[in-house]
Amino acid sequence: MGPVDPRLLQRSPAARRFLAVTVVLGLLATVATFGQAWFVAHGVASAFAGDDLRPAAAGLAACLALRGLLDWWQSVVSVRAAADVKAGLRHDLVAAVLDPRRLEPLPDSARLATLVGGGLDRLDGYVARFLPQLVLAALTPPAVVAALLVVDPLSALVVVLTVPLVLVFLVLVGLVTRDRTDRRWHELARLGRHFSEVLNGLTTLTALGRHQERGLREVGERHRRITMETLRTAFLSAL
């Protein structure tokens, strides 16, 4: 499975519409970024040459305004798309669970509650932040290399030779982060099952004088430790 899950695009029309809008906004943002860099360079050259800086300043202001407008539009579209995607998936999940024609066994109640609640809520970050940045990351580098080929072919050659090394390290860090995240998900599901079992048998355990504070504390501490390891890896990968 790649960074864009095809199953999400197949099951969610809102995700498909959002991805198309994100591509268009990403192209416009790339053009605005190029314009911003161009006018900055033109302004610096004009300052050294003693020319009028007003055309470069006006162009830079227009590019900054366009970039701000695109960022605002992207944030609004992202929030709405995340809500639509979650609502659609939650509706499909509930319909599948309540379907009387269902032949497969249902997952345990703790895992199902985790998925319907916190599991789907985690799509906010994926849809609202990850997908737009993924589109920008896919569109901007080829555009930069194409522009460098026109302006400075030698610099374009250096970029082409060095960028793959950065991508290799990013892939390695991403694999480690994925493994840590999978461990955290399993621990969260285990903690949910433990709580569910304790709540279901709370009356019996209380009557027998059995206490679960130690077990719950150990499971919670394990979940906290794995969560901190995942956050530490994700933080280091962003540096």
216 contacts 153 by C-beta, under 8 angstroms: no
Q: How confident is the model at residue 65 (pLDDT cuts 50, 70, 90)?
A: very high
Q: What is the mean pLDDT of residues 196-220?
A: 66
Higher pLDDT pick, 160 / 200: 160
What pLDDT is attached to residue 1? 53
Q: Dump pLDDT digits (tens) for 28-38.
A: 888 888 888 88
> Tokens representing 126?
């994926």
* Percentage of the chain exceeding pLDDT 90: 3
Distance CA 177, CA 163 (A): 21
Residue 96: pLDDT over 80: no
What pLDDT is attached to residue 61? 92
Q: What is the mean pLDDT of residues 205-223?
A: 66
Provide the whole-model pTM.
0.57
Q: Is 116 exposed, middle or buried (0-12, 13-18, 19+ CB in 10 A)?
A: middle
